[in-house]
Amino acid sequence: MAIGMSLIPKWTGAAGLEALEGLSPSYQAFYAFLGSSPWFPVAVICLFAGLAAWIVVLLVLSRRKTLALRRLREPAAPIVSVAVGKVHGQGARDYQQDSFGISDPSRLQSHGILAVVADGMGGLQHGDKISAAVVETILDGFLYSQGQGTPEQALLTLTQWAVQKVNGILGPGQYRSSGSTLAMGLIKDNVFSFVNIGDSRICLCRNGCLIQLTREHDFKQTLALQAVNGEIPLQDVYTDKRKDGLVSFLGMGPLEQLDLPAGPLALRPGDQLLLMSDGVYNALSDQELLKALGAGSNAPQALEAAILQKGYQNQDNYTAVILACEGGQSPRPRNPNRREAH
């Protein structure tokens, strides 16, 4: 006895009548029409063919999505060297209160490369000495911080040491009598981690776009939040005399705010990291910064030339460190004890 199954129902005979029992007359008439219609088999075949085609389309799209996700998860080309550029000028101020430091670039593969920019707060006492102490403490502690866990944990440890150093210099009764900002970035294992305190800034330049990675810890942010909540008029955000005052900086005692990324930023060859004091980004627009960074190895000279061309009579101290990520073959190792601090 052969057993088979038909995809086309036949609503005839006793079985068909039993199947139609219990249905309303309209449904019975409809199913009877289907069973007697010569187009019904064709319609069923077309339906199944359409479903099969749709399944194939879904499988193809799913395959393409899987391949795209796999490409995104694949590690980027390695960063084998970092070209360092730096700009450091006094501007129109009587004193240079900015400081910066860079670890030895030749230790990129073993320890990473660390860059620090610290802006001593103008108007407060000994801002130059405080910013210099911040940079020196961080560079001195860099190698010792390597065993502190993740790069973010190492940066937090360095930040804690710098805060303790500054607070120790000032003493409990002299908190806020002087202070410094801190912008610190670490390139290690093809990723970038950073910490920011105050109104210095860290940006990423990638594919002709400038992306600000940090925010300024100034009172303007507090005023903006109050304006959004309807507590003050919007114009007060720009006219309040307190707007440029910092709400978090090294030298205030316990820190109020600190910027730390949720996770490390994966880097690509061609990326440029820009760490700068407010004397740079207040003088130049994002487009002007991009134009200077586009000069490649001459970016530091282009950046300083753009600032000086403005000719601002009140030009602040300006400091920038440019970290340009490069692919290719690993460079020859240099003096392992080399570092820079200014």
pLDDT in tens, 253-301: 999 889 988 877 999 999 999 999 999 999 999 999 999 999 999 999 9
Do 68 and 110 fall into the same domain?
Answer: no
1 domain-assigned: no
Do 35 and 110 fall into the same domain?
Answer: no
Do 18 and 89 fall into the same domain?
Answer: no
217 domain-assigned: yes
Task: Name the H helices within 37-177.
Answer: 40-73, 127-141, 151-170
Give CA separation, 251 vs 101, 227, 242, in Å: 19, 29, 19
Q: Which domain holds residue 52?
A: 13-73
Do 135 and 86 fall into the same domain?
Answer: yes
Convert the pLDDT of each residue in 98-151 to its tens digit.
999 999 998 999 899 999 999 998 666 688 999 999 999 999 999 888 767 889
Structure tokens at 134: 């911040």
Structure tokens at 36: 């007697």
3 domain-assigned: no
User: How buried is 7 (Cβ within 10 angstroms: 0-12 exposed, 13-18 middle, 19+ buried)?
Assistant: exposed
Do 46 and 104 fall into the same domain?
Answer: no
For the chain, the domain total comes to 2
Query: In the chain, what percentage of residues exceed pLDDT 70?
Result: 72
Overall pTM surpassing 0.85 (yes/no): no
Do 42 and 187 fall into the same domain?
Answer: no
Domain boundary among 29, 57, 73: 73
DSSP letter for 332, please: P
Do 219 and 274 fall into the same domain?
Answer: yes
At 30, the pLDDT band (50, 70, 90 cuts) reads low
Count the neighbouring beta carbons within 10 Å of the beta carbon of residue 266: 12
Return phi, psi of residue 112, to 5°: 90, 180
